[in-house]
Amino acid sequence: MTDAVSPALADRIDRIGRTAAVAGVVGLVAGGAGAIFMPAAFFRAYLLGFVFLTGLSLGSLAIVMLHHLTGGTWGLVTRRVLEAATRTLPLLALMFVPLVFGLSHLYVWARPEVVQGDAVLQHKQPYLNVPFFLARAAIYFAVWNAVAFLLNRWSREQDDDGATATLDGVRRFRVLSAPGLVAYGLTVTFASVDWVMSLDPHWYSTIFGVIVMGGQALSALAFAVAVLFLLREHEPLRGVVQPAHLHDLGKLLLAFVMLWAYFSFSQFLIVWSGNLPEEIPWYLERLHGGWGWVSAFILLAHFVLPFLLLLSRDLKRHAGTLAAIALALIVMRFVDLFWMIAPSLPPAPLWQRWMDVAVPVGLGGVWLAVFARQLAARPVLPVKDPYFRETFLDVVR
């Protein structure tokens, strides 16, 4: 079998990239124009899009490392999609820069006049201050990019000369992935506290980072399923992506849906039963008024419906239905992040809410265009991986 990308596949990826780039330019131009007159609304929408896209890339990095440690054919067919997503991390580091200019619009702890009159913020100031915040962000991106760079470089070497195309050669993927997952857990926990939890610095949750990690893994896996669906009919993927692989991916989606729900309910149960004044207002604000309807929608569309649908064996083996569920989960991940972020900030007038769509669409279009370019730049299957050879040679014959 060959790992060459067929003209049809290359054209499909190119069309995805060009369409995404156009959407990205339109969204960013509209958002940039709005930023002149509505900076607070712009930076809120920008943070939402940035956190969502960072979750896609970091979730992909975590799943790649998980596959290197555990194996499985599901990872062999999704590996190159996930690796391409990890190679967008330098872009996300660049996307972080505009947030530096909006810290005072987003975080009350970045406003000296507010900190002076708040004893809680004064107590947290050694951690929640602008220089340390930026230094931590630099550390996070350095760790993430370093791990992604090594995994992708070794994967490229495997394609180019087969240097790691032996069982001994692939061991270094596992050697890096074990501490890499530990580093991922630590950095994502702190990053979620910095970028999202500190929007309401009087509130805290010890499980918040775990919830964010579960959401990142779910969104990344759903994204990989959706991309496989779009590309599966073209060589060299045709005949390789089998119903059994879709079934495995569907089971993993079900597992991550349940994990996200378990983590989220655990946080709610602990906070609600504790009923502490510094914790419970975070949920009270999200369970009343319009946000209460959003909460009910998240419960239904992010957990109940996907859980019930993914219990079906036949459904998990049907590519179109599984891809539709995956796309719905990606949308719900965005809604869930919006539910986390927006209530912690001053409410925006209805006529400014278009920014919450335009800016994330702009950022997402740029991200997807870069992803498509990265995906097209390398073979879409790791055909020189020894586990791939053992598993798929009989299939393609």
Write the pLDDT tens digit of every residue in 8-54: 888 899 999 999 999 999 999 998 888 888 898 999 999 999 999 99
Under the banding of pLDDT at 50, 70 and 90, the label for residue 350 is confident
Q: Mean per-residue pLDDT for 52-74?
A: 94
The reply to whether 128 falls in a domain is yes
The reply to whether 224 falls in a domain is yes
Residue 396, pLDDT score: 42
Residue type at 29? V
CA-to-CA separations, 5 to 21, 231, 239, 374, in angstroms, rounded = 22, 11, 14, 13
Q: Mean per-residue pLDDT for 307-332?
A: 95
CA-to-CA separations, 329 to 120, 226, 298, 372, in angstroms, rounded = 37, 10, 10, 21
High-pLDDT (> 90) share of the chain, %: 73
Residue 348, pLDDT score: 75
The reply to whether 157 falls in a domain is yes
Under the banding of pLDDT at 50, 70 and 90, the label for residue 256 is very high
Polymer length in residues for the chain: 397
- Pairwise CA distance, residues 105 & 103, whole Å: 5
State the total domains in the chain: 1
The reply to whether 18 falls in a domain is yes
The reply to whether 1 falls in a domain is no
The reply to whether 138 falls in a domain is yes
The reply to whether 152 falls in a domain is yes
The reply to whether 2 falls in a domain is no
Residue 392, pLDDT score: 67
| pLDDT at 390 exceeding the cut of 80 | no
Which residues, including other chains, have CB under 8 Å from residue 206's CB and lie 6 or more apart?
Answer: none
pTM of the model: 0.94
Give residue-wise pLDDT tens across range 333-342.
Answer: 999 999 999 9
Lowest mean pLDDT among 20-24, 272-276, 279-283, 299-303: 272-276
- Pairwise CA distance, residues 306 & 159, whole Å: 37
High-pLDDT (> 70) share of the chain, %: 95
Give residue-wise pLDDT tens across range 159-169.
Answer: 876 555 566 66
Residue 169, pLDDT score: 67
Residue 395, pLDDT score: 47
Q: Give yes or no for a cis peptide into 236 (omega within 30° of 0).
A: yes
What is the four-CA torsion angle of 177, 183, 188, 191, rounded to 10 degrees?
-150
Other Cβ atoms within 10 Å of 311 Cβ, number: 11
Structural domain harbouring 272: 7-396
Which of these, 18, 253, 259, 54, lies nearest to 148 by C-alpha position?
54
Q: Mean per-residue pLDDT for 66-90?
A: 93
The DSSP string of 79-118 is HHHHHHHHTTHHHHHHHHHHHHTTHHHH-GGG-HHHHHT-
Residue 397, pLDDT score: 46
Residue type at 179? P
Which of these, 337, 119, 102, 83, lies nearest to 227 by C-alpha position?
83
